[in-house]
Structure 1
Amino acid sequence: MPVTHSKKTSTDSGNSGKGTGGKTVVRHGGKSNVGSACALTFHMSGHDAAVCQSGHAAQVWAMECKVEGYVTVDVGNGGTTANTVPGASGNNTGNDGAADVILWTKDKVYIWEVKPGNAYGKTDGPKDLTRYVEGMQDYLEDEGDDRTVERGAGLLSGREASREGIVNVWSKSEPEYQGMRFYGRKNRDNPAPKPGPGPDPVQFPRPARAPRHRSGNPHRERSTPQPWNRRRARQGARRPVGRRVASTSLRMRRRPEWERPSSPACCSRSASSSTASRAARSPSGAPSSVGNDVRRRGL
C-alpha cells in the first residue's frame, strides 16, 4: 500500500517549473550533487562511500543509455533535502524519508537504495526501496508532476575508499533485488572466479650445463702468474689462495745479510775484536766455517 502524506507546496519541493502535464519537481537546482558531495570519500563511512559509488555508476548508466537528467545522492550538505521523500520514513510515523540515489530525467524518476550485503540488507533493503518508490510517486502526483517513478536498473560494480577501508559495491541480478545496491569488504554475491584446472605443463629437457671456468668466464684465458709466482712455481710450491697469503709470505721472508741495513756505529764491533773472538771460538785459530754459514744465511 502506498504511504499517504499531506500535500506539499512548491516551496517545500524546491525550484519548480512548468512541465508537460503541470509542474515539474526540481531538486538541487536541476544539477547533480555527486561531484561536490563525493569529493573526499575516504573521510566517509562505508555506507556513504557506497552511495557515492552508486551515484557515479548511475551517471555512467544514464550516459550509456542516452538518458538526459541529473543524479542526486543523500550525502553531504543538502543531500537529504535533494532526496527527500515526504511521508516515507521507515518508523511508520509519517515523517519524511530520504532515498540514497535518485536519477531525475524528463519522463521518469529512478531510485536506488544502498544497503550492506548481509542478511539485514537483503531483507529490509527491498522493503525500504518499495516505500520510497511509492512515496515519491504519490508526492509527484500531488504536485502535478506526471512523471513515473521506477526502481533503478542494475549498475556496474565498483570499489570505493572510505574511513573503514575499501568497500565493494555491486548489484544483484535477481528481479526482487532490482534497484538495490549492496556493499561490503568482500563481494560475497559475485566472488571472483577461481581458475580451473589447466593442462599439464609440458616438460622440456634442460640443456647440459657447460663446465664453469675457475675465473667464472670460460672464454677468458687464465691470467699469467706474477713474477714471484713463477719463481715459486719453478721451485714446486703451490700457488697461494689469495693476495693476503702471498703478501704475508713475502713479509715473513728473512732478507739476506747483504740486503740488511748496516748497524749503527755504537753497536758495531771493531774488526780486531771480532777477529779475536772468532779465533777464540775456533780451536785452530782459523775462522769457523759454521759461523760464516750462519752469518751468510742471516740467522
Structure 2
Amino acid sequence: MLGLLLLLQVLASCLWLGHGEVVTSFTSCPQFFYAGTTPNEVLNPKNPAWICQRYMNSYHYATLYDRDRRIPVYSAYKYKPGDATRPHSWWFVEPQLIGKSSLKEMEKESVLIEQQKFTLDQIKESQAVLDDYKDLKDLDRGHLSPSGHQDSSEGKMATFTLTNIVPQDSSLNNGQWNAYEFKTMNKKTKDCTSTYVVTGAVPGNTYVSEGRVNRPSHIWSAACCLGDTGPKDAWGAIAENDKNEVEVLSLGELEKRLTNLYGGMVTLFNNACPREQSSHPH
C-alpha cells in the first residue's frame, strides 16, 4: 500500500512539474556540477528554466536559462576537449520551453514548425530564435559551453542550441575569449584528473533584435580542477562584452567581482574548490 502511495506521489509530482526536462532544479543532471553543488540563487533570474541539455538520448551539459531576457544565465559542464568532428551547421531550439510540449530533446525550428505543428510565435515566446541573431553587427553567437570542450560528436552538436548562446562581441569571441577557452584552459588543466566548468553571462542594459534578446555586459567562466583526492586548484576569467580583453583570476576574485555585478553574494562551486590561486606555477 505504501509503495502504491509513493508511486502515486511520484506520478503526481511528474504531472505537476509539466513535461520534459525543464524542471525546477538540475536533479536529472547533477553530474555537471562538482559534488552536485550548483551556483547559488543570486544568479537566478525572475523567470528561470533549468535545462538538462539533452541530445541523442544523452545529457551533455546543464543550462540555467532566462526566459525573459532570452539568454542563458550559465552553462555547466565537465571539460573534456576532444577532436571528434562537428558534423552539422544548424542550430537547435528548446521545445521544452514551449507550453504544452512533451518533447524532451533540442530540435530544429523547422522540424518543430513542419512536423510538430508549433508556430514560430509559440517558439519565440520564451526563447531566442534564429531570426534574432540574423543581422547582428559586430556580435557573434557566443557559446557558453563551447563545442571544443566536448569530446564526442553528439556532445559538440549539443552545444549548438540557442539556449547556450549569447550575443557576444565578435572581436572578443574570435580573439581573447577563444584564446582563454583553448590555450589557457588547456595549459591550466594539464595536471587535473577532471575539471568542472561553469560559464555565464551578466545581463546588460541593452538588447538586440528589437528588444527581444539581452546583450550581456560581461562574459565569465570558472573552473574547479580535481586531483586524485579532490579539488586542488580553481580559477576564473571575466571579460567586458565590448572589448577584446580577458582577465584570468582566482575563483575567489571572480566570485567577488560577480557579487558586485549581480548585487548579492555569489558562490559558483562547492566550498572544497579553492578560492585562492594555488602556489604551483602553470
State if a TM-score over 0.5 links the two structures.
no
Normalised by the length of structure 2, the TM-score is: 0.28
Structure ranking higher in strand proportion = 2
Normalised by the length of structure 1, the TM-score is: 0.27
